[in-house]
Homo-oligomer: A and B are copies of this chain.
């Protein structure tokens, strides 16, 4: 079933919303990419290495009830379209901004997972001097890559004429594989170190 906004735009549930609904765990020690990123961010925060957070899902609140002796209860609200990516923060004195995507596809990353506003936002962040990337997980391969936003932006801009996905081989070649760790289980800042070294 496709949920649509009143303006007819399809509703894309955010990851955090999806997680409110039970769904099968995918790959990588049985944890979702979002859970692993949240754990990694908490680890980095507690160890003073970085301060990176997932942004809350934007919600339009229409009605709130104030029952006596209990918490304010939102009784009518709607999902809004985000204008940015899900994650941002500071690491090594740099502004860093990214979105995280999972795909069950094994041979390519479909661009249908990406939205125009995410491309525009990451393009702008890069222009302003920030670190701007995607973290993409191939769930069936159990592999997670950090991809500089420029690669996806190039594919996105040519998606009318060319293919509507980024080949897996291209991601392996251009991306940085994030190794599996113990604490955190997804030490993605190691990949960011490599991204910084290239720039």
A residues at B contact (CB < 8 Å) = 1, 3-6, 11, 13, 17, 20, 45, 48, 50-51, 53, 55-59, 61-62, 64, 66, 69-80, 82-84, 88-97, 121, 124-125, 127-130
Contacts and interface: CB of A to CB of B under 8 A. Distances in A.
A51 B3 contact: no
Given A66-B3, A95-B90, A75 B72 contact: no
Contacts of A77: 59, 73-74, 77
A13 B3 CA distance: 29
Nearest to A79: B72
Contacts of A78: 71-74
Contacts of A128: 48, 50-51, 90-91, 93
Contacts of A121: 51
A98 to B, nearest CB: 13
A115 to B, nearest CB: 16
A79 B74 contact: yes
Nearest to A49: B128
Contacts of A17: 61, 64
B79 A76 contact: no
Contact of A71 (B1, B58, B79): B79
Given A56-B57, A76-B73, A78-B71, A125 B51 contact: yes
